[in-house]
Structure 1
Amino acid sequence: MNTAVREFHASKTAMWTLFGLFIAVTLYALSIRTLVPPDEGRYAEMAREMFASGDWITTRLNGIKYFEKPPLQTWMNAMTFAAFGLGDWQARLWTGLCGILGVFMTGYAGRKVFGTRVGLYAGLVLASSLFWLASGQINSLDMGLSGMMTVTLASLLIAQRDEATASERRNWMLLCWAGMALAVLAKGLIGLVLPGSVLILYSLLARDWRIWHRLHLVKGMLVFFAIAAPWFVLVAMRNPEQPYFFFVHEHFQRFLMKGHKREGAWYYFVLLLIPGIMPWLGVLPQSLAAACKRQAGTFQPRLMLLIWAVFIFLFFSYSTSKLPGYIVPVFPALALLTALFLETASHRQRMLAAGVLALLGLVVLVGVPVTLAAIRARDEAHLAALQGYQPWVMTAGALALAGGVLALLHERALRRDMTILTIAVAGFLATHSILAGSELYGQNRAGSDLLPQIRAELKPGTKLYSVSIYEQSLTYYLQRPVTLVAYTDEFAFGLQQQPELSIPKIETFITQWTNDATAGVHSLAIISLDRYEDLKHRGVPMRVVAEDARRMIIANL
């Protein structure tokens, strides 16, 4: 094997070609799956309503004020709709671009701070980590926040390195402050609280007090508030109820108090990190341990990365509200720490990384058929989805096994760069196989198979109700809001401000539905199977338009 192949990191052409292929596959994959509720449908519909209404200040869902999160994702999606029209890939484009940006910034920071090979390895690790890849393919807030926080972290590392010039330090720190402001607009105060807490802990543990003189605090705060503050001021002026709900309820109460239906055990994120860091689990513990060693120089970037990963992980582990995507911001730091370890790892340690990947693939190939045979699905649709998913998961297992074995062969021949590249490509392709295979499950969740029957019934004057449920993706695909009946959930605060936008009692709905039927006013309703039996028992006039294993569509005429 010639030197150019062995030293892959030394070839700019090879690295840019690889990055180009990563971008192409990532963007293409945005279009191959249905938007899965609740998150994907919710944020697509919020953006559609913003685009349709032209109101870029007050965020709404189903026409109801919705202030749980800031507007950055909604803005970006609405602009995408304006540029490219409505669609699945358009709704995911912002998160896809944030995932790509995160990989680029992580690789660039690794190159500037630690060297060319670490930069390559860091990009490869992040671009192939299951959680990062999956989050970049899902229309939710987690990747938008993580992308902006990666800008913050990477800019901070580059600005604070010992060899940075005065102009570099100033410019990169201003970008760091801009990244924090955008993170706040992406998901709230954690965009400032998390990096700020990391900085405080770093200065205490590293005893690097002078870092506070290198942050360009005055200019940085001007940049931060110029970006983050205007929307908060404008939305509060138009909606005086917003500040208390957003800052108190959505931040402090959600973090400290139970009752949000998102509780989890203290080890919740530990269990998620194991698959989330695949295919690099075999070197993660060693990478974290190596980061504890002090480096030469004033600035300690390894320690900064370790604190970033551990603090954010523990922060959300302590919170009473837990969802898988909360820990996505730790992965760029873990990627850099893993890359640093891989650069100096022994032949045996790289063999271990490849062997763990091969073993994982073998476990999947053996375990998935056995597990599926033992599952007793609750309905035929669920069983069909699992059976349809099996070939894709098996393909992912085969890719992991083949990639692990090939990486072992490269490592036996001492092709270090090719070993790391092979593991990364195998992880990347295996994750995309898992994501692509989830389409049947996504269709079942979204109810997209019912759309032709619903659209055939919908006329300009047709009333559309959603009884005791709210189907996030169906609302987006139908491109019109519904009238909520006997349902509040996440709309509770908005409906307190606009109670006229829903029907709180099922009895009121039945009366209106029946009167409209008598008057010849055509109405449709999306209902659960249990609610259908209840209405049938009450003698409500209904005609079934469409149904699946999760919901029914009924008409009154």
Structure 2
Amino acid sequence: MKHKLYIFLSIVFVILIFKLGSWGLTFSSEARYAEIAKEMFVKGDFINPVLLGIKHLHKPPVTYYLTALGYQLFGINEFGARFFMQVALVLQLLFVFKITLLLYKKEKIAFAATLIYFSFPIVIIAVRNVTTDAYLTTFILGSIYFWLQYREQSKPYFLYLFYLFLGLIFETKGPVGFIVPLTFIITHKIVHKSKIEISIHQILGFLLFLVVSLSWYLAVIYKNEGLLDYFLNTQIVERISKNKFNREKPIWYYLVLIPLVGLPWVFYLILYFKKNFKIIITKKSTDFILLVTFSVLFIILSLSTSKLILYILPLYFILAIFSAKYLSTSSKKGIQNLSILFLILIGLICTSLVIISIIKSDGIEINLSISLILFTTSVIISLLIYKKISPKNYLKPTYLAVIFIGTIIISSNHIFTENELKINSVKPIVNFIKETHKQEHEILVYNYLLPSLSFYLGNNITTINHGKYTTQREVQFETNELWKKHLINYFDPIDRARLLNFTSKDSIFLIKRKKDILPDTLLTLKNNLKHQKDFGKFEVFY
């Protein structure tokens, strides 16, 4: 089974990097991470993350470091920014297989869990643009795997790798990342009545964890007075208890979201618990450990004020394992029904692509030839799998699930490339600016943060803050006032007067969202700009 795993991982990696850099950075998160990593890479300052000339100390730096490494290998471009996200997913798949195998000792169930995990839409969403969550989940899975492997074989290097990955968790997203591995380990020890081990390797491993996890924090806190209080209060306490970053959602948000991004496997999870819940609770076996781990993170995330879809990504390896376990006990009819469901889904997605490419629904551009090739290839491969693999083999629907998600990945790459404005990329605006004015120009962005403009154009963008929360930058850690040159506070009379100076300049681009209404001062500036062009959600005056 392991040779099948490595063939699968190789195919997945090829699919993931296919046309990976063909569409522009999307805002806001991807553009922000990509631009911070770029400024870090160009300036060589790996202590202070900077966004558009202002320190951006919201998160620890591992995501920026890996993105910068991508720039070192492939250049400052979209492929370089996204490359290590794909590597992270391949490692996640490997860890899911290894963890499941260690827990249940059955390679076929482990392989099924790996295929199911890959087929979850949320897993793919997490790696198609730059975020911290895919890296965090990789380190979480790695820490659990190395801890289990150390418990299995007692080889010290697995223990050191466990502590290393714990440190990387902390350097990726802070203490919140510890919830899953620590809950898993504590529950595991309670269930198996394991004693707390103290040895020279445990002590050295813990020291390794401290060095990895605290090195950047200590360096950046030393260089920025008041940063420790900012980390503790603003980034931890207020993020959880207040709507600090406009991410407030109702307490039931994840209860609805988890099934939506886990279809159709979530039904198998429900069926598994319906069939085995009493046994899981009374016997307190491996299933119980996973259930407690899932429940603890789910409850904490639900109670937290700040909620985003990718926060629940670390839960899905547990859903994959439970789904694989239930599938392994399914009847021939159940396996056939699920296989037919995936055949229908593949047919629907392929047919929809062809229809949309013909009628160009909602202005979406899809190349008809590509749609027909995808349709033909996906349908033929799916039918071959359906015909050749025995209906008793529970891997059959998991293979079809992989074809389904693979079709979505490849087709979305083409859709993103041909419809950049619709996926919130400003690359068409950038290309227009470059083609229209070859000489130096000033770019003003009204009441919105667009770091991707700076990423592509290579010069500073002047942001006009008129109340939008993303334009209200945190400048308390700046040691000089150079940042004021490219950030205008419209509520400050002195800053507002600076806007009038732009009317005397020849090459100016004023960019705003269509739904925003310009104030009087900017109307004066806009009226001096004779041309206008629409770009989806944005208008450009020049």
Q: Among 37, 42, 50, which residue is 2:32 paired with?
A: 42
Q: Deviations over 1:134-169 (max 9, x none)?
A: 212221111111111111222233333xxx2322xx
C-alpha deviation, 1:233, in angstroms: 0.2
Answering whether residue 126 of structure 2 is matched by residue 135 of structure 1, we say yes
Answering whether residue 335 of structure 2 is matched by residue 333 of structure 1, we say no
Residue type of the alignment partner of 2:534: E
- 2:402 corresponds in structure 1 to 424
Q: Residues 156, 337 of structure 1: CA spacing in aligned structure 2 closer, same or farther, 3 A cutoff?
A: farther
Residue type of the alignment partner of 2:120: S
Residue type of the alignment partner of 1:351: Q
Q: Among 194, 204, 211, which residue is 1:210 paired with?
A: 194
**Counterpart contact for 1:389–1:438, Cα < 8 Å:** no
Answering whether residue 406 of structure 2 is matched by residue 433 of structure 1, we say no
How many matched pairs? 526
CA distance in 1, matches of 2:278, 2:415: 42
Answering whether residue 154 of structure 2 is matched by residue 166 of structure 1, we say yes
Q: Residues 281, 359 of structure 1: CA spacing in aligned structure 2 closer, same or farther, 3 A cutoff?
A: farther
CA distance in 2, matches of 1:109, 1:38: 34
**Counterpart contact for 1:80–1:93, Cα < 8 Å:** yes
**Counterpart contact for 1:453–1:545, Cα < 8 Å:** no
- 1:483 corresponds in structure 2 to 462
Q: Residues 356, 395 of structure 1: CA spacing in aligned structure 2 closer, same or farther, 3 A cutoff?
A: farther
C-alpha deviation, 1:394, in angstroms: 11
CA distance in 1, matches of 2:337, 2:126: 27
Q: Residues 77, 400 of structure 1: CA spacing in aligned structure 2 closer, same or farther, 3 A cutoff?
A: same
Q: Secondary structure at the match of 1:251?
A: helix
Q: Name which of structure 1's ranges 505-514 and 116-125 shifts more when overlaid on structure 2.
A: 505-514
C-alpha deviation, 1:54, in angstroms: 0.8
C-alpha deviation, 1:180, in angstroms: 1.7
Q: Secondary structure at the match of 1:213?
A: coil
**Counterpart contact for 1:360–1:401, Cα < 8 Å:** no
**Counterpart contact for 1:361–1:399, Cα < 8 Å:** no
Q: Secondary structure at the match of 1:328?
A: helix
CA distance in 2, matches of 1:198, 1:393: 44
Answering whether residue 330 of structure 2 is matched by residue 315 of structure 1, we say no
- 2:61 corresponds in structure 1 to 71
Unaligned residue ranges in structure 1 (runs of 5+) = 1-8, 372-380
CA distance in 2, matches of 1:214, 1:334: 33
CA distance in 2, matches of 1:247, 1:391: 54
Q: Among 524, 530, 535, which residue is 1:543 paired with?
A: 530
C-alpha deviation, 1:550, in angstroms: 2.0
Q: Residues 468, 536 of structure 1: CA spacing in aligned structure 2 closer, same or farther, 3 A cutoff?
A: closer
Q: Name which of structure 1's ranges 504-513 and 234-243 shifts more when overlaid on structure 2.
A: 504-513
**Counterpart contact for 2:40–2:46, Cα < 8 Å:** yes
CA distance in 1, matches of 2:276, 2:374: 31
CA distance in 1, matches of 2:35, 2:181: 31
Q: Among 141, 163, 178, which residue is 1:150 paired with?
A: 141
CA distance in 2, matches of 1:533, 1:393: 46
- 1:552 corresponds in structure 2 to 539
The residue correspondences of 1:247-266 to structure 2 (distance < 5 A) are 247-266=232-251
C-alpha deviation, 1:72, in angstroms: 0.4
What is the aligned-residue identity percentage?
A: 18
**Counterpart contact for 2:113–2:323, Cα < 8 Å:** yes
Q: TM-score, normalised by structure 1?
A: 0.82
CA distance in 1, matches of 2:369, 2:289: 42
Q: Among 145, 149, 164, which residue is 1:178 paired with?
A: 164
The residue correspondences of 1:327-476 to structure 2 (distance < 5 A) are 327-358=312-343, 360=345, 383-385=362-364, 413-434=391-412, 436-444=414-422, 445-456=424-435, 462-476=441-455
- 1:494 corresponds in structure 2 to 474
CA distance in 1, matches of 2:418, 2:261: 22
Q: Deviations over 1:384-441 (max 9, x none)?
A: 13x7599999999999998887766567643443443233333332344345434455
Q: Residues 291, 479 of structure 1: CA spacing in aligned structure 2 closer, same or farther, 3 A cutoff?
A: farther
**Counterpart contact for 1:357–1:423, Cα < 8 Å:** yes
**Counterpart contact for 1:118–1:339, Cα < 8 Å:** yes
Q: Name which of structure 1's ranges 323-332 and 508-517 shifts more when overlaid on structure 2.
A: 508-517
CA distance in 2, matches of 1:526, 1:425: 41
Q: Secondary structure at the match of 2:509?
A: strand
- 2:110 corresponds in structure 1 to 119
Q: Deviations over 1:325-376 (max 9, x none)?
A: 11111112222222233333332332343244345557768999999xxxxx
C-alpha deviation, 1:190, in angstroms: 1.1
CA distance in 2, matches of 1:158, 1:301: 15
Residue type of the alignment partner of 2:53: G
CA distance in 2, matches of 1:287, 1:401: 30
Q: Residues 312, 36 of structure 1: CA spacing in aligned structure 2 closer, same or farther, 3 A cutoff?
A: same
CA distance in 2, matches of 1:251, 1:546: 42
Residue type of the alignment partner of 1:551: F
Q: Among 40, 48, 60, which residue is 1:58 paired with?
A: 48
Answering whether residue 269 of structure 2 is matched by residue 284 of structure 1, we say yes
CA distance in 2, matches of 1:390, 1:321: 42
CA distance in 1, matches of 2:198, 2:369: 54
Q: Name which of structure 1's ranges 535-544 and 344-353 shifts more when overlaid on structure 2.
A: 535-544
C-alpha deviation, 1:510, in angstroms: 5.7
Unaligned residue ranges in structure 2 (runs of 5+) = none
Q: TM-score, normalised by structure 2?
A: 0.84
C-alpha deviation, 1:105, in angstroms: 1.4
C-alpha deviation, 1:225, in angstroms: 0.7
- 1:6 corresponds in structure 2 to none
**Counterpart contact for 1:364–1:394, Cα < 8 Å:** no
Please report the RMSD computed on the Cα atoms of aligned residues, expressed in angstroms.
3.7
Q: Among 214, 231, 239, which residue is 1:229 paired with?
A: 214
**Counterpart contact for 2:73–2:80, Cα < 8 Å:** no
CA distance in 2, matches of 1:394, 1:484: 44
Residue type of the alignment partner of 1:453: F
C-alpha deviation, 1:81, in angstroms: 0.9
CA distance in 2, matches of 1:370, 1:321: 39
**Counterpart contact for 1:121–1:420, Cα < 8 Å:** yes
CA distance in 2, matches of 1:44, 1:87: 9
Residue type of the alignment partner of 2:461: V
Residue type of the alignment partner of 1:195: P
